[in-house]
Amino acid sequence: MCGIVGYIGPRDATPIILAGLQRLEYRGYDSAGIAVIQHGSIVVRRDVGKLSSLVDLIRQQPLNGQIGIGHTRWATHGEPCERNAHPHTSANGKTVVVHNGIVENYREIRADLLAEGVQFASDTDTEVIVHLIQREMDAGHDLAEATRRAVQQLRGAHAVVALSADEPDRLVAVRIGNAGGVALGIGQGEMFIASDIPAILEHTRQMVFLESRQMVTLTRSAYRVQTLDGEPVDAKIHSIPWDPVSAARGEFKHFMQKEIHEQARALTDTIRGRVDFESGAIHLPNLEISPDDARKLRRLVIVACGTSAYSGLVGKFIIEELTRIPVEVDYGSEYRYRDPILDNNCAVLALTQSGETVDTLAALEEAREKGARLWSIVNAIGSQAMRIVDGYIAMQAGPEIGVASTKAFTASIVDQYLLGLYLAQQRGTLSPDAARAHIQNLARLPDLVGQVLERDKQIKALAGELYQYTNFLYLGRGINYPIALEGALKLKEISYIHAEGYPAGEMKHGPIALIDEHMPVLAIALRDGVYDKMLSQIEQAKSRGGIVIALATDGDTEIAAKADHVLSIPETPPLLSPVVSVIPLQLLAYHIAVRRGADVDQPRNLAKSVTVE
């Protein structure tokens, strides 16, 4: 996903923009660029590859100015190279833009502009935007009006920031659809624009988030938000609670490593303020459901993608157990095209760390049209999934920078637990005693997670024995089957090793043919209701020459006699065991990826927020 940073104020824009882009590197990109107004003219520096190449270029060819925009590009149209990098400049060199999203009708627009004699300098879809803006300015409109008119001609989802040498005291930013966010940072005598909070958090906590089809014109001391129809908007100013340090890596080698080890604290934060340990009452401040509405609820549909979808598979077990409401789980990318059967006695719950995943947001829009209530569990403050629903639970896990999601996954499961308790409480089917017992279990989680994190060295040693294998099988049953899926995804996405998560009971229906000494099998075999079944699974794999890594409950000597390697977790209440059982799998994937020299925080081909289909 591309990154955008803009600045206007009394300071030199270049270092501010570059530092902001560095904080957005986790979003994944393949080129970068910056434009400032220097002595009345637009000056641009761009380079392919990592941001460090752009920094070196600017060191050799400095550019200074007090207003500028920068961009990290994840190529969609046009290969990654210098001339396709943003910012893109109009033919007369007076206007420049950066852009997130895809101009779906760029071919038609490009053909029209070419017919008018416009010269194109790149193969990108984005370049048509700057020429459209310049054409409107040549027709006599100011930058804001020209930008407003230009973006109305685009199809698709966009975030656009424009700058003109003819109006060197302002920036204009626009948001259409879900091509990533547009955050306005309000400083003292200076203003910032960014596609994500961490880029500008060190300068200000006061932020405004553009909604879709809104635009903002900003000078160093003021800003004006309006709709694309020209209506003024009194936009809410959010005060971001995150501190800049928590968005930095600290003493860890990778953001992912930091975020794995932050989970005990993140779970504490996601529970904090939502449970009353005395009365057993659950409070979800941004998700008020009346007892009457709770009793009317006949079905809950969870929609999500990737790791978030796997947290929903766990949530299904939890919410059905706590409420006896049927829960179905579907991928956002499937749900949006499945013409789902919904009515106003159904609720659709989106699980999304970024709050900007286009497939998940589209599934919500589909559900809205069918009359369902919309809820979400979201980490990114101010994101679309937090704003378009009837109610939400903020994960409160703090910024998750590593592309591979870890603390948001476990926070999402706990928040679904809280939702299940809340629904049961509102439906009158959960006694205060039962609620207190559940809350006591929740309160133990951070400590249980912390105990497993202390076993990092043992897991790192095991990774040293496994990192050269090229195929893995992850097996689980019941509430830990989704953890087999998530453990396999973690390994796949950061180490590029092929790994498959599978329901253990399904092995005999085909996949057992895969088992041999080249295919390590990770079997989740906790002391729970499916323990015996998992034991026999381990025996079947061993009898076929398989290498078995068992994830067991502390003190289980029986498994130690059967498996080649054993990782273990403390005894955990079954409904919460996935929150603890996933930790060793996160650490195992992390250490294997590090041993393989992989780019852990920015795996190839991946983005932190998938805002394209």
One-letter amino acid for residue 512 of the chain: I
Per CB under 6 A, the list member of 333, 572, 609, 611 interacting with ligand AGP is: 609
- Stretches 130-138, 282-290, 350-358, 536-544: which one binds ligand AGP (CB under 6 A)? 350-358
Peptide bond into 168 cis (omega under 30): no
CB of 305 to ligand AGP, least distance (A): 4
What do you get for the CA distance between the two ends of the chain, in Å? Answer: 12
CB of 318 to ligand AGP, least distance (A): 18
Per-residue x/- track, 280-309, ligand AGP (CB under 6 A): -------------------------xxxx-
CB of 462 to ligand AGP, least distance (A): 21
Which residue in 80, 104, 6, 197 sits closest to 608, CA to CA? Answer: 197
CA atoms in the 13 A half-sphere facing the CB of 259: 25
- Which lies closer to ligand AGP via its Cβ, residue 31 or residue 308? 308
- Which lies closer to ligand AGP via its Cβ, residue 151 or residue 380? 380
Q: Per 3-state DSSP, what percentage of the chain is helix, strand, and coil (rounded to 5)?
A: 40, 20, 40
CB of 332 to ligand AGP, least distance (A): 8
197 binds ligand AGP (CB under 6 A): no
- Which lies closer to ligand AGP via its Cβ, residue 134 or residue 354? 354
153 CB neighbour count, 10 Å cutoff:
16
- Alpha-helix runs per DSSP H in 139-174: 143-151
* Residue sitting closest to ligand AGP (CB): 306
Instruction: State residue 550 phi and psi, 5-degree precision.
Output: -95, 140
- Which lies closer to ligand AGP via its Cβ, residue 14 or residue 353? 353
Annotate 331-387 with three-state secondary structure: EHHHHCCCCCCCCCCEEEEEEECCCCCHHHHHHHHHHHHCCCEEEEEECCCCCHHHH
Contact in structure between 93 and 57 (CB atoms under 8 Å): no
- Which lies closer to ligand AGP via its Cβ, residue 306 or residue 546? 306
# chain residues binding ligand AGP, by CB under 6 A:
16
399-428 binders of ligand AGP (CB under 6 A) = 403-405
One-letter amino acid for residue 346 of the chain: C
Encoded tokens for 191: 């203003």
352 binds ligand AGP (CB under 6 A): yes
Residue holding tokens 């961009």? 71
Which residue in 30, 32, 31 sits closest to 17, CA to CA? Answer: 32
527-566 binders of ligand AGP (CB under 6 A) = none
- Stretches 174-182, 289-297, 551-559, 604-612: which one binds ligand AGP (CB under 6 A)? 604-612
- Which lies closer to ligand AGP via its Cβ, residue 125 or residue 493? 493
**What region, left, alpha or beta, does residue 175 occupy, with left being phi > 0 and alpha being psi -120 to 50 degrees?**
beta
User: How far is residue 21's CA from residue 569's CA, in Å, rounded to a whole number?
Assistant: 39
Exposed, middle or buried by CB within 10 Å (0-12, 13-18, 19+), for 378?
Answer: buried
User: How far is residue 457's CA from residue 589's CA, in Å, rounded to a whole number?
Assistant: 13
CB of 38 to ligand AGP, least distance (A): 38
354 binds ligand AGP (CB under 6 A): yes
CA–CA–CA angle 126, 365, 97 (5° rounding): 15
CB of 490 to ligand AGP, least distance (A): 7
**Residues belonging to the active site:** 2, 608
CB of 565 to ligand AGP, least distance (A): 24
One-letter amino acid for residue 464 of the chain: G
159 binds ligand AGP (CB under 6 A): no
481-520 binders of ligand AGP (CB under 6 A) = 493
Encoded tokens for 372: 């369902």
219-258 binders of ligand AGP (CB under 6 A) = none
- Which lies closer to ligand AGP via its Cβ, residue 75 or residue 606? 606
CB of 328 to ligand AGP, least distance (A): 18
- Which lies closer to ligand AGP via its Cβ, residue 137 or residue 404? 404
610 binds ligand AGP (CB under 6 A): yes
Binding site for ligand AGP (CB under 6 A): 305-308, 352-354, 357, 360, 403-405, 493, 606, 609-610
